[in-house]
Structure 1
């Protein structure tokens, strides 16, 4: 099993230092109640004007819904994502339903909800890998998305397993150390 703890410049909380995106998942299942706990965590994310412009469409491994979500993934994601215990699609709502006002922040808010789910999952020793590599049109048709909805990502969730069981190039990616740009290159103090 490969656990990649971030080597941070500052004293970041362990939950963030320990979060990473594995591709090697064990055969251990996630219960519906556990998955619903993770989804509820996402629902408590902040959003512009508390519009909560998101929906989560999910399926557990071994179900027809899982196979449908898996089929929408890019060919590079399918070989390892098939072993996840659950797949969760994040969907953004472009306009506020009651006022039909365009929500310019829906993608940001969906990202916030996704991050809350990832941290809740890790707190429960469940790892997540967020994917943008999927066919949005195929997913929209499969899930019956409305004209006001946009697929944002698909998240693979599961208990971590050994990197050794992965084929290349996934095994090397699993074992490569994590890195981030230094704070000095992404943040600037405004006088």
Structure 2
């Protein structure tokens, strides 16, 4: 299901088409080649001083890594994410040989955005989730103390919303995408003053 963004200016196709569906095709495959492209996109994201704080745990449906990531998700997220072709956990490295990594969370966010936009380019959908147990990930994968499991990501082939079953979930999936107006987003002169040229 496509839900392109309604924008006030033209956007790159991947940005306009990116959204976070939960309805995923349980038979749809996410290939290693697609995952490699997504991870390369994340690897080439900007970071403060080229510190590269992003790391990923990666599992494809049916393998042990997928199962362990799925087990760490909240029950609500497991109810739909089991259909994903791949599950990942984005991990933020907070220290390296030079000490604390400045803006590590920002760097991980940039890498994550690259990853999900590449997923769209690959004809896939990616849904990022805060609903998981970081301690279970840390223990299950031997994540070191200087690394913080920050977000889980389900990647898959989009499906029709009815696969979700419950009416409220289907309605939520079909609901229009919304963002605040550009005038409430970009300011000039003083906070809250819209940029006149926009």
Q: Same fold (TM over 0.5)?
A: yes
- Helix, strand or coil: the match of 1:76? helix
Equivalent residue, structure 2, for 1:41 = 41
Determine which of 123, 126, 140 is the counterpart of 1:125: 123
How far apart are 1:104 and its partner, in Å?
A: 3.0
TM-score w.r.t. the length of structure 2 is 0.91
The structure whose RCO (Cα within 8 Å, separation 6+) is larger is 1
> Structure 1 stretches of 5 or more lacking a match?
none
Mapped to 2, the partners of 1:41 and 1:127 lie a distance apart of 15
- Please show how residues 101-116 of structure 1 align to structure 2 within 5 Å: 102-116=100-114
Mapped to 2, the partners of 1:74 and 1:160 lie a distance apart of 21
How far apart are 1:14 and its partner, in Å?
A: 2.0
Mapped to 2, the partners of 1:188 and 1:3 lie a distance apart of 31
Equivalent residue, structure 2, for 1:50 = 50
How far apart are 1:115 and its partner, in Å?
A: 0.4
Q: 2:87, 2:155 within 8 Å by CA — same for their partners in 1?
A: yes
RMSD in angstroms over aligned alpha carbons? 1.2
How far apart are 1:165 and its partner, in Å?
A: 1.3
Runs of 4+ residues over 3 Å off in structure 1: none
Mapped to 1, the partners of 2:142 and 2:189 lie a distance apart of 46
- Please show how residues 15-94 of structure 1 align to structure 2 within 5 Å: 15-26=14-25, 27-94=27-94
TM-score w.r.t. the length of structure 1 is 0.94
> Structure 2 stretches of 5 or more lacking a match?
191-198
Size of the aligned set, in residue pairs, is 188
Deviates more, 1:112-121 or 1:159-168: 159-168
